Chains A and B, each alone.
Chain A
């Protein structure tokens, strides 16, 4: 079945350093979504990418969707302690409606002040 893989599983950075997490799907995706989950909280939608090669920015966060629409990345510039949490990518399940998402296992980001 469809697999969505994320690396790394954990990342510890010094405050001010950059951070990148990568997401790879075993199948081509119609779109990819990114979520952030703070410790003890629930996942919160960050963004959706739809077009091949799409790049979107939200302040210090940059999201990319690969040309083949099978991979994506999230890059955070100059991390802050407020960036702490787990970042998940998710893509629609192959052959299903766009609402059935397959989530990656997430990248847990720790920021050392």
Chain B
């Protein structure tokens, strides 16, 4: 199993550009989520999905959209990039039933918005 994969690893955008961060998992996990990590801020939940076709907002959803058309994929879309969205983005998945509820993280995408 590849686990959780994310592309791209690095990205530089100009203010106002849009892009999609890709996330895929091959563990048949029901639950997937997107976090952003900023220095000294820990991990903050952007959006999450409890299964295909079901998504919801997390703590910091503004400026981001998600969709979940399949169990495997959970892309994150930046609609109009802003410098405040410069961050490291992590996608994570968890089985979604039973314990432990450990989350498996992808390697991250380092995004810079100029």
A contacts, CB < 8 Å to B: 9, 31, 33, 41-45, 48, 50, 88, 90, 92, 97-106
Residue of B43, B96, B101, B106 touching A88 (CB-CB under 8 A) = B43
Q: Taking the nearest CB of chain B, how far is it from the CB of A105, in angstroms? A: 4
- Please report the C-alpha to C-alpha distance between residue A90 and residue B33 in the assembled complex, in whole angstroms: 14
CB nearest neighbor in A for B31: A99
What residues of A have a CB within 8 angstroms of the CB of B45 in the complex?
100-102
B42–A99 contact, CB under 8 A? no
| 6 further A-B pairs in the complex, CB-CB below 8 A; given A44-B105, A100-B45 | A45-B100, A48-B99, A48-B101, A101-B103, A102-B45, A103-B44
B99–A88 contact, CB under 8 A? no
A99–B105 contact, CB under 8 A? no
What residues of A have a CB within 8 angstroms of the CB of B111 in the complex?
none
- Please report the C-alpha to C-alpha distance between residue A42 and residue B6 in the assembled complex, in whole angstroms: 12
Q: A31-B99, A31-B101, A105-B40 are in contact. Are A99 and B94 (CB under 8 A)?
A: yes
